Structure 1
């Protein structure tokens, strides 16, 4: 890759009242140079004092470069550039007020590795070699400053080598994340983050290149978000902001926000075919024309398999394509499209007492019973179509404007049975008809979003202001019905709503640096919601006689959420961040009353922690750790009778995490984390400061650990270069509290992968659940009756679980076509 080349180097200008320099002083700047050669961001890595820092930063915003290039494609990079101020030569007849202003070094001098041409330069000490010009590739966008200690910009990099089944599992790269799935291969994962049982999205905001993915008033749960359609090979990085500390975070950002960022760094055509255990088949085709940027690509993914037990077959297909085009010299347009369809069967949950007694309708051996099922009429299907257009414009003076429009079409149907024959109230003289529940959702989302960053400088620093907005309209049909155990015909409608929701939001954030070692970021976000609901499940008559079985409901809500973060730079590489913020989750429209001022679930959160980043030669170490506390005004817990989360009142959380990532010469990449969290329901009237008291919330693990590692290398055999790779993933999950004082067993899982590559051909072998553990992916404790419609129901709660996958082996053949020659 070729580095950027300086073209215009405006020198810094010191104010007239600047103090006289007695010795040379150097400010080390980290600048972001975009694909047009402009400096889009500047930060001080090593300070020489407020006046000199501001002068150097002000000049850097006016520098121009020929952009860095990978082949013929311009790429955005970060560069460390020293600016050295030298004292003037002694003038015996002049007073200090008559001394000329010293001329600092320029980018050309820094790039060339030479000293600046300025008065007194010959007396200046040489700039250390570590401060010479360097570039760090950051993909399509530079890494934004963290909004909090728990704000992670995670570049997937080598860790893509660790076995993963979907883009959702990339979330495990963030600390304190656990995933569970009781619904089958194609059902959205249940996400546990920061001590929250976030369900399938109720407490986590999901975005894809800025497009919101959470679905309002979903029949399976408000905020349902299925990221299974995202092709993992196209995910360049993801930003996981834990906690509500960034003003740009919107609805559902209670536990945090996850944004997938797409790019394809390796250009050319890749075709990959896999075959493995349980007749699993996977075909991926990814293409990035070499003449285009990393933001231009096409990806196709087909998956199919029988599953690891009865009633677990699945099939899905997805297509994603994106193109980036230049409009004149100052603007770019990025167009993204995605289309996806899936169908899957589900074994659901089984009752532990029936499994232990061998009463399930499978072979009598222990393994067959463990992977068996009660109700074969479970599963689902879904479709998603997504389109987005972004216009990114560079304004005069260095300002930036982003405008985006998007549309999402979604349809889903899922059938689940958690209790067997328990909840139905049949007509007199008839047997139970069954508790199988069908949830149906179809919807259209239209939206606009944008952000504006002014150019220029304020007090010698780049303009720290950012303004943003979002407008979103959802038109959805959401319905839940009970199905007969025999034949599957619906016999009871639980709810049936036509919902229209308009969300208008805006935010403003500001950064200030009152001291060279102290910076503060803060802002406020406003969101308004207008709800219109047509309830199609009203009675056909009431006390006053016959009526139309539908009813209209309208409601409105408005919320303000201030957020702030202070960062103290203790050393060049060590920072202390403290954050506070208010967040909100919108109301499920199905729970509103007519003319109600719609309530919001409010979250109050605070966090403090340390961040360290250091590098030397080819070694880079990034570590992060923090302690946090959170209180939510209205929380939800899974209810087996409804088959979805139900409100339980206020809750609170306290926790901590530590994460470290170690990279060595682009050969070894290791990421490890440990997280602890305690979630509880406060006692009535208890002080909000009593965070360690109260009834523990069920299903939320208190201790989580994760290690991902990848090692790459090459050998020469008979004059041919052979690349190789070994990867390992390990997850540890502590006992999870269950209702009625029970706890689940701890879980320890290991995954491994090996690959070898010769020229354009690569062979790989992955093994998930390497030790073939029998583990329970989801576990519950409640009353059920799966013995039959006429059997008396026991009122004794017992454990129910969804079996996790056994050892799964998969072989992969990958062919790389039209690729540049590269070293593994």
Structure 2
């Protein structure tokens, strides 16, 4: 009885002691735009407590003894800030903080255990130290990611990452402001991802993660994912003109629609447009044309709810020289920059609408809702085999489709504490539906005459996903993230070539668990272990043929890595990784056939280093090694064609040197097998690029040089069996698209203030 009475008395004393505790509720904004800053580290000095701001720039500290405190704020690209506050009993102290943009210095960058799960120090630094100058540079921000163009500029780039030849997006998930870019069951290839509708000057951040470890990312997240975030507001209205060799011209403009009045009301809106034209460096003028328009509005529906609306439209048309065989150049049939079929080319367009709303409720729930819609059109003429199948008319093909894509992303999350342990629980729902009309593969001649329709039909594909995710922060050093998602697919194909027209349907589903561990030894060293399962879906025409069997091939991966700062001015990210993929069936869009693909495994090492040599000079290096192989195949016959084995990019960047800035960069792709027995090799390349800028308050001048030393290199290469006109038999050898020669371009930007 006495022990019960003593426990009661102690509990009453404890309740009385905590009854008068206060709290702090704050919001961090950009000093220039007035818009909230996400991802700011906020430390309550002397208490061991720290938080990271959410999408509304908000943070909160509870259970504080009445006293004076200091808050320390840090964020990459902003000046560190210390703010003094006083907390009173039983009251919530409201804090407003404005942070100003400042030059990036590596000495101020800390490795935070509080945001270990989504910490992207490398991309955050690179986007500020290496400004994006063209649409291709957007993806090259991701360490280890290589791209190659094999249609002269209008077609989506071929992507390489972590021992994958990803083609145009089969094993990497790409999005812009959360809106999906990959096209399922595309006329040209599964996962086709065309980013050319993005105006590069509008890109603010590039978020990414390599490997299948993120719960809210589903389809195509095999080698990893990338999300581009476009600017919410423009620093200034601007007009930019560019001109260069090979008949290249580009004009870009951005207009701030609300100005200072909008900032006073925490609103922003802008309209931007881009027009590009280029004949390019090919013997046959490319006559490439591209037109982009984007508008964006951001505002607060209430103190705790913001709304972002984005609309854009894009159109492009081009000719291209296509891939040419080595023997055609050696024999003099065509030059290095020539073509075998000069009538290749295409056109495409995309119109997008994207609405995003984020709400933080009084009880601490964070609710995100997103609706998106895209109308997409695509038409491409290619000739890979020349006269192999049709010795009279040639083998040119047309791939064409019209598509409506719409969907929803939603989530709800909340952070709770049991003692000092934080639990961030998230649940989400996702829905996507693709409706295509007249998805086509046809045999054509001279881009004007249709000889034979080989595939022609309508696709209706639904992907619904649900996930739960738990992030447990045991301390400011150690955290665990665990999650699981369920994806359901319904595939329907209407074959318009059959008489009568037939319609078939199939369903399939897959469960993908994730487990990630993070340990921060100190502000200069963090260790992590990521593991998870993911997948890429297959073309609806495969799914229907196989009745849904083995059409969602799983991928299992693990990363063991570290982020550390051995010196104040050196930041290093290193990881050893392994990825295993199950057998699948692959739809070959260029042939209209289904081919089986066996089990594969890849493992390798990634190394990224960023070093501040002086106050104005930065060096960076990315080195990526991989060993990709097929499983269950005889040694020497188990190579994965075109899979990269050794790549590296790096360079020197000048920043904060008065009006001058710029960079000298290199990229290296090692030689790699072009077929299964390595008897045909795709040669490697090493090229350099130069960027130099002179910027004053009202204008900026820029010089951009691609392939500074005029290296002759092959940007994309394939081992292809083809037959030239007049040849007695087909030949299998390297077919390639030449890389750009020395190409200089000047730009002038005028800022409207």
The TM-score bracket by the shorter chain reads 0.7 to 0.9
C-alpha distance in 1, partners of 2:647/2:585?
22
Query: Structure 2 length normalisation: TM-score?
Result: 0.84
CA distance in structure 2 between the partners assigned to 1:117 and 1:314 by the alignment: 62
The aligned runs of 1:219-618 (5 Å cut-off) are: 219-263=187-231, 267-288=235-256, 289-291=258-260, 292=263, 296-309=269-282, 310-360=284-334, 369-424=335-390, 432-477=392-437, 479-485=439-445, 488-514=448-474, 517-538=477-498, 548-593=499-544, 596-598=547-549, 599-612=551-564
What is the DSSP-based 3-state SS (H/G/I as helix, E as strand, rest coil) of the residue aligned with 1:783? strand
Distance (whole Å) between structure 1 residues aligned to residue 187 and residue 252 of structure 2:
32
SS at match of 1:593: helix
Work out which of the residue numbers 732, 737, 743 in structure 2 matches 1:802: 737
Say which SS state the counterpart of residue 583 (structure 2) adopts: strand
Contact 1:154–1:173 (Cα < 8 Å) also in 2: no
Correspondences of 1:91-102 after superposition (within 5 Å):
none
Can you give the 5+ residue segments of structure 2 that lack an aligned partner in the other structure?
A: 1-9, 49-62, 73-80, 89-96, 104-110
2:55 match: none
Alignment of 1:128-147 (within 5 A): 145-147=115-117
Provide the C-alpha distance between the structure 2 equivalents of 1:511 and 1:394, rounded to a whole number of angstroms.
18
CA–CA distance in structure 1, aligned partners of residues 532 and 508 of structure 2: 20
Residue 524 of structure 1 contacts residue 563 of structure 1 at CA under 8 Å; is this kept in 2?
yes
- 1:647 deviation in Å? 4.2
User: Following TM superposition, by how much is the alpha carbon of 1:727 offset from its aligned partner in structure 2, in angstroms?
Assistant: 1.5
Distance 1:282 1:450, change over 3 A: same
Gaps of 5+ in 1: 1-15, 21-54, 87-100, 119-132, 361-368, 425-430, 539-547, 687-691, 716-722, 819-824
Length, aligned pairs only = 691
- Cα deviation code 1:729-759 (max 9, x no counterpart): 2101110211252222221111102222344
What's the counterpart of residue 683 of structure 1? Answer: 632
Instruction: Give secondary structure in 1 for the equivalent of 2:195.
Output: coil
Question: Which residue of structure 2 aligns with residue 93 of structure 1?
Answer: none
Q: Secondary structure at the match of 1:600?
A: coil
Per-residue CA distance 1:518-575 (angstroms, 9 max, x = gap):
211010011101111101123xxxxxxxxx2421110001110000101122233211
Match of 1:650 in 2: 599
Cα pair 2:716 2:737 within 8 Å, conserved: yes
CA distance in 2, matches of 1:81, 1:214: 39
Relative distance call for 1:258 and 1:102 in structure 2 (3 A) is closer
Q: Please give the alpha-carbon distance, in whole angstroms, between the structure 2 residues aligned to 1:777 and 1:641.
A: 20
1:672 maps to 2:624: no
Q: Which residue of 2 aligns with 1:187?
A: 155
Match of 1:95 in 2: none
| Deviates further, 461-470 or 435-444 | 461-470
CA pair 654-693 structure 1, distance change in 2 beyond 3 A:
farther
TM-score (norm 1): 0.77
Per-residue CA distance 1:221-241 (angstroms, 9 max, x = gap) = 011110011011111111111
Query: Per-residue CA shift, 1:233-272, capped at 9, x if unaligned?
Result: 1111111111110101111111111100111665121111
Spell out the pairing of 1:147-226 with structure 2 (5 A cutoff): 147=117, 153-154=123-124, 156-161=126-131, 164-166=133-135, 168-226=136-194
| Structure with larger Rg | 1
Displacement, 1:610?
0.8
Corresponding residue for 1:40?
A: none
* Residues 784-795 of structure 1 mapped to structure 2, 5 A cutoff: 784-786=722-724, 788=725, 791-795=726-730
The two structures, once aligned, show a CA RMSD in angstroms of: 3.4
Distance 1:699 1:640, change over 3 A: farther
Provide the secondary structure at the position in 2 that maps to 1:696: coil
Q: Distance in 2 between matches of 1:79 and 1:593?
A: 50
Q: Which moved more, 1:653-662 or 1:629-638?
A: 629-638
SS at match of 1:215: coil
